[in-house]
Amino acid sequence: MSKKIIATTSLAGCFGCHMSILDIDERILDLVELVEFNKSPIDDIKVFTKQCDIGIIEGGCCNSENIEVLKYFRENCDILISLGECAIMGGLPAMRNGIPIEECLHEAYLDGPTVKLNTQKILPNDSELPMLLNEVYPCHEIVKIDYFLPGCAPRADLIWDALVALITGNEMDLPYEVVKFD
């Protein structure tokens, strides 16, 4: 059996889900027997060098770059997995939904209690910076997502079981303790 190719990315996430992937501990040695990694922060490959079997998405979409990367993953991966609450429902970044963007930027850069050094009262507005979206979107509202693994972060056992089931084509056994929303 040829190795499956996996790509991963963190959009509007905190990298906690990636930490949880690493939390499979010594099973990572078994994982490298089963898969090879392509574009991923884990190996620092920046662009897809081949079509991948599985794309793992952490985080929702809060800016234009997130959307671009997500679409790039959809084009280059046969199966996409939303990993964690942020990818599934926007997560904590989505708590800004319903608050106007201007208000968020003012709080972060001008009026917030910890803002001390922005004496020139600058709001980030460089054309190099990705544009913030009006809301934070769950990934499946932007592209088609095939599987969802909830959790904040998803339990390592859930990630491991799901990946092994997907790679070997077996049914997934979901013990009660591993599917959690927090």
Q: Does position 89 bind another protein by CB under 8 A?
A: yes
What minimum distance in Å lies between the beta carbon of 79 and another protein?
Answer: 15
Asked if 59 is part of the footprint of another protein (rule: CB under 8 A), the reply reads no
Of 141, 176, 130, 152, the C-alpha closest to 71 is 141
Sheet strand arrangement including 52-58? 35-37, 4-10, 52-58, 77-83, 147-149
Per rule CB under 8 A, is residue 82 in the interface with another protein? yes
Of 99 and 110, the one with the shorter C-beta distance to another protein is: 99
> Does the protein bind another protein through residue 123 (CB under 8 A)?
no
Q: Contact between 177 and another protein (CB under 8 A)?
A: yes
Half-sphere exposure of 161 (CA within 13 A, CB side): 16
Q: Where are the beta strands (DSSP E) in 14-89?
A: 35-37, 52-58, 61-63, 77-83
**CB-count burial class (<10 Å; 0-12, 13-18, 19+) for 57:** buried
Say how many C-beta atoms besides its own lie within 10 A of residue 95's C-beta. Answer: 10
Minimum distance from residue 88 beta carbon to another protein (Å): 5
Q: Given the rule CB under 8 A, which of 3-11, 108-116, 136-144, 163-171 is the region that contacts another protein?
A: 136-144
**Can you tell me which of 90, 133, 156, 161 binds another protein, judged by CB under 8 A?**
90
In angstroms, rounded to a whole number, what is the distance separating the alpha carbons of residues 14 and 28?
A: 21
Q: Does 83 bind another protein (CB under 8 A)?
A: no
Q: Does the footprint of another protein cover residue 149 (CB under 8 A)?
A: yes
Task: Using CB under 8 A, pick the residue from 11, 77, 88, 166 that binds another protein.
Answer: 88
Chain residues that interact with another protein, rule: CB under 8 A: 82, 85, 88-92, 94-95, 97-99, 135, 138, 140-141, 145, 147-150, 152, 174, 176-177, 179-182
